[in-house]
A and B are shown apart, each in its own frame.
Chain A
Amino acid sequence: MSTNQTTEARRGKAPAGERVADWADGRLGIYSLAKANMRKIFPDHWSFMLGEVCLYSFIIIILTGVYLTLFFHPSMNEVEYHGSYVPLQGQLMSEAFNSTMHISFDVRGGLLIRQIHHWAALVFLAGMFVHMMRVFFTGAFRKPREVNWLFGFLLFVLGMFTGFTGYSLPDDLLSGTGVRFMEGAILSVPIVGTYLSFFLFGGEFPGGDFVARFYSVHILLLPGIMLGLVVAHLILVFYHKHTQFAGPGKTNNNVVGMPLLPVYMAKAGGFFFLVFGVIAAISAIAQINPIWAIGPYRPDQVSTGAQPDWYMGFSEGLIRVMPGWEINFWGHTLVLGVFIPLVIFPLVLVAIAVYPFIESWVTGDRREHHILDRPRNAPTRTAFGVAWITLYMVLLIGGGNDLWATHFHLSINSITWFVRIAFFVGPVLAFVITKRICLGLQRRDKEKVLHGRESGIIKRLPHGEFIEVHEPLSQDALHTLTAHEQYEPLAIGPTVDENGVERKVKGSERLRAKLSEAYFGEESQIPKPTVEEYKEITSGHGHH
């Protein structure tokens, strides 16, 4: 480097911080890194903090999780309880349960850390869900961010299983019931199910192995993969730069916002403490997973109102509402009543994961997109997303059908039947309604651009007519409302050329054209106002 000499000359004179930085730069090249990133621009929008909530809760989970491993014994050896919680004195339980009791009652602050760990996990999953929806509905998954979308999706799925293996560790009655459910689901897999179950549990359920095995999966395998994915996710966020909403001065070729140092660093860094502080306060006042009230696991005991953590609820719904179909043939049993939900479970998730690739295939658009869509301006996508959420929520209702029944005094049978029907009808209805709402909002935007904002001022004309005064929009608003671009539906073109020779059109092309028509046809978007329309209306006076 050319600065070597200057650095030599200044040695001893530069402030200590700079000397340390020089030392590090000579070995790590931090100045080049900082040049590109220290004043990197981050756009500001409230919805961009959803991803931060996930990142910070993930860090909180790791910090508290490491603390918990210092006290937790992942063993299923039976011991008699002799801790300080009187009602369970003398009760037989596994060492896992016993050590969780120890953490909760005898380690000072242990209960707090346990509750922070569990609450942060719920917030992590909820944050990822909402963050994913934000990315989905604004079209932030489009090129060049498809891979990052998949990383995020994998994090969500792995987060679900890390959560499941985590809450199963204390070996309490509730979580053991969940593990039993999982074992029953594995048994339903044709041909290999019984073997899978025996290999996973080291023999018959529950055996003496699964806590230790879940433990290594929960604290090492899955979080290790997730940590890698989080890092990759963040590197890509940095590399792609943030998306932004359309607005004055914001284009597809720039990114408008505040620099990393100092504003974003202070806000994002501060936000970590806000998230941590709120979760700590929640954990101080809201009890979660009181295993002492639930008791240790016994395969022949159960409590009513058994529920998984919320993110597993939709799989619970699938298993609860599925009719109990079983086919017996040639000495074998096909347990469709359990196996079909087991197959639909990943399919529900995959449906949302592959969507970006389907959309980019339909549009055929290969450009980079950095300006976010307003959901209304992509009605078909928005409708699909709402349909998916509807399906998810219907299944969540199914997963808690007993609680709905007891809390709202409904018949469990009618709830189950409602879910069975709504599973098919709900998403379709949601799709149609959402699309119509989006189109309505597009019409309103158009109206606003062409005729201005309703001012609320009523004017009486000399001949007695009342009119409402519309105020023209500012140019900022005009630009923002018309900045989105609208695709033309894909046309296959004539299949017979002028010489009468027939052109072969592939089936996939036909499907693509059909989908494109469904996406961008007349029924699916309101043409945005043109400059000509605007001028025609604004040049004449008296039109409102």
Chain B
Amino acid sequence: MSSQDIPEENLPAEQDTHGAVGVADEKNPFADPGLPPHEHRIQDVDERAAKRSERSVALLFTVSMLATVGFIASYVAIPADESVYIWPIGHISAMNFALGMTLGIALFTIGAGAVHWARTLMSDLEIADERHPIEAPPEVKTKVMADFKQGAKESALGRRKLIRNTMFGALALFPLSGVILLRDLGPLPGDKLRHTLWSKGKLLVNMNTNEPLRPSDVAVGSLTFAKPEGLEEHDEDFQTEIAKAALLIVRIQPENIKDKQELEWSHEGIVAYSKICTHVGCPISLYEQQTHHVLCPCHQSTFDLSDGARVIFGPAGHALPQLRIGVNDEGYLEALGDFAEPVGPAFWERG
């Protein structure tokens, strides 16, 4: 569209009726001078430039069509497991790269074409529209209030209080059915969070080898993860049970154990602690052999395993529960009972 096509009434000069509030003059140099005059773009005055724009837009749309063809071709032709080297990213899935790039180009060029079209060939004349107050005029408000009063009066809701009160009662009560229905979302907690699979005589089974542990398997400075005997990965409730029963085992020289109870509950310096962080339940898995500190990688709570696993840094609120262990007749490490306190994050009933 060239400037010749712009209707006269759209030109800024014709629009002074709305738009400008004051006219610039000697009195007020800060007054609103009104919309600035429209400046022509080269496309408005030079038809050849407009043609060039038209061709650019058409080219972009054509590229889009080609990219879509490329998308379909990639989908059909590229094997799903082929990887390709793209500098500087490295080896990536050829299919994902080809589909994504062709789709991206197909979409982007449609957008670029439309925007270029709008910017160079559609009218760039700014137009002023009037606003109207959002609030209704007073007479409308009066009418609405009167209508409402009339409606309320005809309903007799205010006069017949018995109806009103019982209706409110009924409306307030019926959602209770919906709330009640939520009861079976889950069982009541009971004391489930207080117990784990550990009990007297259960062997400590190495998580990696699936073999019961002997004291000789645990070297000073090593970190071993264990589960209770009888819990297998294929068990239906494996996830829920391991979430409480997971154990971390380290060996510390007995003379380095500062906590008396910890020493009593250990076996030849082998101590077993709950692996589940007492903060919000991440499994603790970073062990510093020199200091006997374990660190939870989620929120960096740090526990001193040589001192009753008390918290020495981070957001955890209490020490890791210790599992009392011993050795059975055959020389395997065994639990001497369940954890004395609930494992994992604290909760209201924990106490």
Answer yes or no: do A and B interact: yes
Chain A residues proximal to chain B, CB less than 8 Å: 39-41, 78, 84, 92, 105-106, 108-109, 111-112, 115-116, 144, 177, 180-181, 183-185, 187-195, 197-207, 209, 239-241, 248-259, 262-263, 266-267, 269-285, 287, 297-306, 319-326, 328, 330-335, 337-338, 368, 370, 401-402, 412-413, 416, 449, 475-476, 478-479, 482-483, 531, 534-535, 538
Give which listed residue, A181, A248, A284, contacts B282 with CB less than 8 A.
Answer: A181
Q: Complex Cα distance A192/B99, Å?
A: 49
Give which listed residue, A190, A202, A254, A337, contacts B348 with CB less than 8 A.
Answer: A190
Contact B281 A183 (CB under 8 A): yes
Q: For A203, what are the chain B residues with a Cβ–Cβ distance below 8 Å?
A: 186-187, 192, 240
Q: Is B148 an interface residue (CB 8 A)?
A: no
Contact B317 A326 (CB under 8 A): yes
Given known pairs A249-B32, A338-B345, the reply for A368 and B134 (CB within 8 Å) is: yes
Contact B189 A333 (CB under 8 A): no
Q: Is B129 an interface residue (CB 8 A)?
A: yes
B167 shortest CB reach to chain A, Å: 27
Q: For B97, what are the chain A residues with a Cβ–Cβ distance below 8 Å?
A: 284-285
Q: Complex Cα distance A538/B315, Å?
A: 64
Q: Is B329 an interface residue (CB 8 A)?
A: no
Contact A276 B107 (CB under 8 A): yes
Q: For A338, what are the chain B residues with a Cβ–Cβ distance below 8 Å?
A: 279-280, 315, 317, 345-346
Contact B345 A324 (CB under 8 A): no
Contact B117 A248 (CB under 8 A): no
Q: For B126, what are the chain A residues with a Cβ–Cβ distance below 8 Å?
A: 249, 256-258
Contact mask for chain B residues 233-273; partner A; CB cutoff 8 A; 1 contact, 0 none: 11010111011101000000000000000000000000000
Contact A319 B351 (CB under 8 A): no
B277 shortest CB reach to chain A, Å: 8
Given known pairs A177-B298, A199-B185, A401-B300, the reply for A105 and B282 (CB within 8 Å) is: no
Q: For A281, what are the chain B residues with a Cβ–Cβ distance below 8 Å?
A: 100-101, 104-105, 108
Given known pairs A112-B100, A189-B348, A254-B129, the reply for A266 and B32 (CB within 8 Å) is: no
The contact sample of 30 A-B pairs, CB cut-off 8 A, is A41-B129, A92-B233, A108-B80, A108-B99, A109-B99, A184-B279, A184-B345, A188-B347, A199-B182, A200-B185, A203-B240, A251-B20, A254-B129, A263-B118, A263-B123, A270-B114, A274-B107, A277-B103, A280-B107, A281-B101, A287-B92, A302-B285, A306-B282, A323-B315, A324-B279, A326-B317, A326-B346, A368-B134, A401-B300, A478-B30
Given known pairs A248-B35, A479-B31, the reply for A333 and B351 (CB within 8 Å) is: yes
Give which listed residue, B19, B124, B233, contacts A258 with CB less than 8 A.
Answer: B124
Contact A184 B281 (CB under 8 A): yes
Contact B130 A106 (CB under 8 A): no
Question: From A261, which residue of chain B is reached at the shortest CB distance?
Answer: B122
Contact A324 B317 (CB under 8 A): yes
Given known pairs A270-B112, A274-B111, A337-B316, the reply for A479 and B33 (CB within 8 Å) is: yes
Q: For A328, what are the chain B residues with a Cβ–Cβ distance below 8 Å?
A: 350-351
Contact A413 B313 (CB under 8 A): yes
Q: Is B18 an interface residue (CB 8 A)?
A: yes
Q: Complex Cα distance A112/B106, Å?
A: 15
Contact A92 B234 (CB under 8 A): yes
Contact A335 B345 (CB under 8 A): yes
Q: Is B325 an interface residue (CB 8 A)?
A: no
Contact A248 B34 (CB under 8 A): yes
B59 shortest CB reach to chain A, Å: 15
Contact B300 A320 (CB under 8 A): yes
Contact A267 B118 (CB under 8 A): yes
Contact B107 A249 (CB under 8 A): no
A377 shortest CB reach to chain B, Å: 15
Q: Complex Cα distance A320/B122, Å?
A: 54
Q: For B124, what are the chain A residues with a Cβ–Cβ distance below 8 Å?
A: 258, 263
Q: Complex Cα distance A267/B110, Å?
A: 11
Q: For B75, what are the chain A residues with a Cβ–Cβ distance below 8 Å?
A: 108-109
Q: Is B86 an interface residue (CB 8 A)?
A: yes
Q: Is B175 an interface residue (CB 8 A)?
A: no
Q: Complex Cα distance A531/B24, Å?
A: 12
Contact B129 A277 (CB under 8 A): no
Interface-centre pick from A78, A184, A202 (highest chain B CB count, 10 A): A184
Question: From A107, which residue of chain B is reached at the shortest CB distance?
Answer: B80
Contact A306 B297 (CB under 8 A): yes
Q: For B118, what are the chain A residues with a Cβ–Cβ distance below 8 Å?
A: 262-263, 266-267, 270
Q: Is B301 an interface residue (CB 8 A)?
A: yes
